[in-house]
A and B are shown apart, each in its own frame.
Chain A
């Protein structure tokens, strides 16, 4: 009887632990700073802050379903921002600049896919190398400086508002919706999850496993680019390393998400939860006046704690 209760409790922690942790964070920050943290303005602030990370992390989710990894998203986001800014400054229209930059970022992602799925590089090594190279290109073409004075109509993506909703948040919602449909409602999603579960069985069932993985990197590249564009618009300037924090934060969000909703598998709702945990942590600790170095330490600790908790619960359940 006792063990039965214990197993049940573990099962609940396993599935809902991360979500409960998220609410715990909200409660802690709200009770410590009831005047500031739970205010409508601050919550809107958080959502706006995490929008770009959510867009990038959605793409990384797709790659991580098959067990691959993408370290290059931060560099792609930076590069795409710099390229869009330079194009706009050189007189190319705002919309064409954005489209060209998105195309470039998607191609960078596809190149990752070619190297990894067809070239046989491990995802870690492959994207580590391209991250370095793409980052180098961004620094080279921007001459290492921040690009200011972008056309005014470029402001809308990152700072505009439709009704009461910020456009960046709408883009985030659209991204999450598209990725959700892709993963849950399409044959492509089925193939991704099948490969993640058993690549050999998938191949023998007639799935072109290499093509599927290649496309996943393209998708990751596209959303990294989209995130990079929105970020550039929000900051209204392009810096060759502006996207760098995406690399680890996106992966951290996906890892946190793997601990909930779909057991042990990357999934979009989990990723969104992970993104919000990271966002709320950053915002809450800022409000409490805790310095950013300590914030990093705490973020790292929380990831370890969440993943450890879920893997312990998993082991005990057997």
Chain B
């Protein structure tokens, strides 16, 4: 499509959004043209998802205006969003599993009828086929989408968006579950959408895909647009530099660790999620685990914690074989985990602080199965104090605490007994800056006392700021293991994206 045929279909001006303690977006200007594929990139927390939530009508912006085809309009609900032709295709595709493709495509539409109330299935199929033909999509129409492949399901979602006459298609990491061949099919459909004069906004961490399929790219950082460019003028390196921008602040307590003997040795570990991972963590050492979301970082920790089974390989803890069959076994041997999502897997939100802190150590605060209440409260109090937990009453429900204090409860529970190996998955996610520093101090202290620590974080500054060495994994396999002092932000990202010759 030539440049002249393009017109601006959506212009966003001065968009701003403030969350308590965080400015998610400030003064964001963006514009999308018809017939273009527009890449949107940025690190986690750069503001991409807030932007998309605002456009989808899920979150309301504090400031800013929208111009659809040069006409001002507002987005107050998801209904408004679809009225303006915005449609959103993300990893969870919101398909009805037991419906077939044509039923999903016309979900919420009035089906064609004949003989009064009877559905005219023939006509419905014909209409569905017409849409698929326009987009050059090939999916079976009459079997439940449950039985379709990941890419076919994505295609159904796209066809559905097309059926409601969408004009701007937001795709958020649509290719993560796809194989290379499937990805080609998706790209072909994106190309077809573009040829129909539609706009595709493509959000992904995969910079190669951005370079391949987009016409223009917008880079966000810290809630602002930092660069807009034609994709052909960009390279992977220039994208990464633009994404990083700012320098690493001195937000991390300094290391006081003396690295000791090998404590935790993992050899050729394999299962369905990870492939042949080997590393050694020493007493007092913090090992960062670098990689993108979905690279197998979390699954590696879960495997070491006994949540996922081990197919092959061996692990040694203080020289003795270690093969956990459940979290209980791992805890008994001094291997503990602060899980990724505290509300989902770290806390029992409707129970008290006391109960949460002692949940991992119930056998210690009881005798013959009977709770020793006074001792339990005392231990909880001590553990809370160690992590600087701020709470008026330990009998209050955990759900009433701030994110930072909730995370401190998880820490208090996990490290109530000095662990040998402490594994941390996103330890500061959703934690305010002040509490963050305290959490880092706790981690450093434990290392100084001789624990071996593994840390996974999407915030690469955190990994760089805390780790002694960094293990990089991509698609479940380790790509390299590097001393921290040889890594800067740029090289970090290169390793994450699997480039080894940075």
Contact = CB atoms under 8 A, between A and B. Distances in A.
A198 interface: yes
Contact of B348 (A187, A197, A206, A264): A197
A202 B351 CA distance: 12
B400 to A, nearest CB: 13
Interface in B343-379: 344-351, 355, 358-360, 362-363, 366, 369-371
B309 interface: no
B239 to A, nearest CB: 37
Contact of A204 (B327, B370, B371): B327
Given A190-B362, A206-B328, A206-B331, A198 B349 contact: yes
Contacts of B370: 185-187
A118 to B, nearest CB: 14
A208 B328 contact: yes
B351 A194 contact: yes
Most buried by B among A190, A203, A263: A190
Interface in B323-354: 326-328, 330-332, 337, 339, 344-351
B178 interface: no
A204 B345 contact: yes
Contacts of A16: none
Contacts of B188: none
A205 interface: yes
Contacts of A200: 344-345
A180 interface: no
B126 to A, nearest CB: 41
Contacts of B362: 187, 190-191
B344 A205 contact: no
Most buried by B among A188, A193, A201, A205: A205
A207 interface: yes
Contact of A187 (B332, B337, B369): B369
Contact of A193 (B326, B330, B351): B351
B339 A194 contact: no
B363 A187 contact: yes
A137 B337 CA distance: 48
Given A204-B339, A206-B360, A188 B369 contact: yes
A202 B339 CA distance: 12
Contacts of A191: 362
Contact of A190 (B330, B331, B337, B371): B371
Interface in B137-164: none
A169 B143 CA distance: 60
Interface in A249-296: 263-265
Contacts of B349: 197-198
B328 A187 contact: no
B371 A205 contact: no
Contacts of A208: 326, 328
A265 B351 CA distance: 11
A226 B349 CA distance: 35
A264 B369 contact: no
B307 interface: yes
B386 to A, nearest CB: 18
Interface size, B (range): 20 to 34
A202 B369 contact: no
Contact of A264 (B307, B330, B339, B350): B350
B198 interface: no
Interface string A137-170: 0000000000000000000000000000000000
Most buried by B among A186, A203, A206, A208: A206
B339 A190 contact: no
A263 B351 CA distance: 11
Given A190-B359, A208-B328, A201 B350 contact: no
Contacts of B348: 193-194, 197-198, 201-202
B347 A201 contact: yes
A190 B354 CA distance: 11
A207 B351 CA distance: 16
Interface string A46-86: 00000000000000000000000000000000000000000
Contacts of B339: 201, 204
Interface string A229-265: 0000000000000000000000000000000000111
Contacts of B328: 206-208
A205 B413 contact: yes
Given A204-B339, A206-B327, A197 B366 contact: no
Given A197-B350, A204-B337, A206-B331, A187 B371 contact: yes
B364 to A, nearest CB: 10
A283 B135 CA distance: 70
Contacts of A207: 328, 359
Nearest to A262: B350
A11 B38 CA distance: 52
A185 B371 contact: yes
A194 B355 contact: yes
Given A194-B348, A202-B348, A187 B366 contact: yes
Nearest to A210: B326
B327 A205 contact: yes
A206 B370 CA distance: 18
Interface of A: 185-188, 190-191, 193-194, 197-198, 200-208, 263-265
9 contacts: A193-B355, A194-B359, A201-B339, A201-B345, A201-B348, A202-B348, A204-B345, A205-B359, A264-B350
Given A201-B339, A202-B359, A204-B346, 7 more contacts: A187-B362, A191-B362, A197-B348, A197-B349, A197-B350, A204-B307, A205-B327
**Nearest 10 pairs of A and B residues by beta carbon:** A197-B348, A206-B328, A206-B331, A187-B362, A205-B359, A198-B348, A205-B360, A187-B366, A200-B345, A186-B369
